[in-house]
Amino acid sequence: MQVTGGQFTSTSAIIGNDISTLPDFPAEIRAPAGSLPGVSGYQLNFSSRDIRTPGDEPQVLVAMNPAALKTNLPDLEPGGILVVNTDEFNANNLKKAGYASNPIEDGSLSGYRLFKVPITSNTLKALEGSALPFKQQDRCKNFYALGLMYWLYDRPMEPTVKWVNDKFGSKPEVADANIQVLRAGFNYADTTEIFTTHYRVSKAKIKPGKYRNITGNEATAIGFIAGAQLTGRPLFYGSYPITPASDILHELSKHKNFGVKTFQAEDEIAAIGAAIGASFAGNIGLTGTSGPGVALKSEAIGLAVMTELPLVIIDVQRGGPSTGLPTKTEQADLLQAMFGRNSESPCAIVAPSTPGDCFTMAIEAVRLATKYMSPVFYLSDGYIANGSEPWEIPSLDSLPEMKVQFRTETEGFFPYLRDEQTLARPWAVPGTPGLEHRIGGIEKKHITGNVNYEPDNHDFMVRLRAEKIQRMQQDIPDIEIFGEKTGKVLVLGWGSTYGAITTAVEQLQEQGKSVSAAHLRYLNPFPKNLEQVLRSFDTVIIPELNLGQLAMLVRAQFLIDAVSFSQVKGKPFKVSSLVNKIKEYL
């Protein structure tokens, strides 16, 4: 289903539609076929106008078996198109899905436009005479369903045919079978006329430029490569595989031609230890994980704070606690990134808002880390990481200047001497003659870097490290307001809530309501104009996929009684739920 959805998405992007996706796959590696925990789904919203979410309620659902129907039917809009693979609605599969009777026969689906198609048997008929074994022929049925949808929405098959030939170039019999089945599904819809309507979604009106379809994890990897190239330093990525961050490791490992070194460590602690060592040695030290991995890395992050090295920590957030919901999304690691270490261990925090924005904020994480010689958290989440959208490839001229200069002069060198503006200490790499200095986790003497236990020095260094993070405020943009600068309601968000919030606010603005939106991409420090923006509205609502973590920080820092609107279902917000909540305060 992920391949099927990905191909429909890529084809829609190629013909110029705006797109937003929500892949939804099971946590179990090999869940029993036909079981509810094993359902894999892919939601796609494609349009001839600007869109920002994969949609609240699908208008079409293709259910390949009873479990898929039971899992996804509650989301289908009333009167929506429902295509079911009738071959899979047998007694055994109905029992696995918990159906007492067959829903495609008992009238329970009367509220939908039901199309019953024997997808499995039609697939096998299309492959009569094929040398492929039965199991491999059966696997082609998703491409039959894709062919049906290509006819229904007037999609060309050529991009998928090319992809199949490239993917299975070494196995021409597999490629031929999938292409044959794809065309069989398309022709079935064309000749049987089961669908009374043929839809055509024209190109979206978007700014001219060169675009590609990109997922958040892909954009993250490319962004960090770009950041390393801009600094002129090699990129080292130390990581331990963990959902939903593993794709970053996969993508970075493909780019050795850019001087990228990827290291799959034996555990999370080894991964960050290696990344800190790489930072000390003059590389862009990067480590990636999800919430459980951040917990294991916490002591080493404190070491990076103490040694003041430019480490970047990627946290692709997922549902918790513990293993929680490993393939679902959440925003519940904000306080962990902010405070989840012993003592006063301040780190900068940035957060992308869309899949394409992951590229920009990855570069920003590298820029802040290297300019201020400080660890930086990069907070993505499962929704952004796996979702995709059209991304305009930027020109090189539009990227920031970030060239790194190491300390090489021996005269006047001290390891904790400060830049007057940024408070950054010098980056003196090992092996530079005359610049040998102590490194480690014990408190340092101001300027000299010697081990020091004096109370006043410790108090001074703790405050200085916090001030260094705060001074980044001079180097980040003001938060922008979507809508009027003052009014009744401001909806403040961060991370992946951007699309749903902006769409909800836009709908209410079109109705003449006094509501605006603002979105945070810098969470520590906050933009310097944030308090002024918040005090310009009667009510501030903060929707989050947690129990109110940003709301807690806003209330504590600005003494503003922000309204927390929380959801922790493992799924992104629906636009309709945000609209209803905002209306309560209008």
> Can you give the three-state secondary structure of 495-560, one letter per residue?
HHHHHHHHHHHHHHHHCCCCEEEEEECEEECCCCCHHHHHCCEEEEEEEECCCCHHHHHHHHHHCC
CATH 3.40.50.920 residue ranges of the chain are: 481-584
CATH 3.40.920.10 residue ranges of the chain are: 2-192
The region, left, alpha or beta by phi > 0 then psi within -120 to 50, assigned to residue 309 is beta
The per-residue pLDDT for 136 is 94
The per-residue pLDDT for 91 is 96
The DSSP output letter for 476 is: S
Under CATH, domain 2-192 is a member of which superfamily?
A: Pyruvate-ferredoxin oxidoreductase, PFOR, domain III (3.40.920.10)
- For residue 388, report the phi and psi dihedrals to the nearest 5 degrees: -140, 160
CATH dotted code for 481-584: 3.40.50.920
The per-residue pLDDT for 507 is 97
pLDDT averaged over 10-residue windows placed end to end, the chain, 586 residues: 96 95 89 88 96 96 97 96 97 96 96 97 96 94 97 97 95 95 97 91 91 96 98 98 97 96 98 98 98 98 98 98 96 98 98 98 98 98 96 95 95 96 97 93 96 98 98 97 98 98 98 98 98 98 98 98 97 97 96
The per-residue pLDDT for 30 is 79
Highest CATH level, class, for 212-395: alpha beta
The per-residue pLDDT for 206 is 86
CATH 3.40.50.970 residue ranges of the chain are: 212-395
The per-residue pLDDT for 29 is 78
- For residue 500, report the phi and psi dihedrals to the nearest 5 degrees: -65, -40
